[in-house]
Amino acid sequence: MITLYQFVECPYCEKVRQKLAELKLDYKKVNVSYSRDDEIREMLFSKTGVHTVPVLEVEGKFIGESEKIIHFLENLGK
């Protein structure tokens, strides 16, 4: 299962959503709080070292930053 942690209006999250759609990958979206003090945001930072979204979770692996996520998705299954 793929989970995308995101803000709806974030342009970097949109790039990742477009890539997921292009690759016809099923995924779950989790909208996170804007506050960096939020529990989910703190967990994402502890997993990625990145304070921003998008963050992609795939089989327990967390990937931050849109370009890294897109690169990962393009190479998924190769």
**pTM assigned to the model:** 0.94
Q: What is the pLDDT of residues 6-32, one digit of tens each?
A: 999 999 999 999 999 999 999 999 999
- Backbone dihedral angles phi then psi of residue 62, each to the nearest 5 degrees: -110, 135
12: closest CA among 51, 65, 61?
65
Q: In this structure, what token pair is assigned to residue 70? A: 């897109």
**Domain 2-75 in CATH: superfamily?**
Glutaredoxin (3.40.30.10)
Q: How would you classify residue 21: left for phi > 0, otherwise alpha for psi between -120 and 50, otherwise beta?
A: alpha
Q: What is the pLDDT of residues 55-66, one digit of tens each?
A: 999 999 999 999
Residue boundaries of the structural domains of the chain: 2-75
27: closest CA among 60, 45, 50, 5?
5
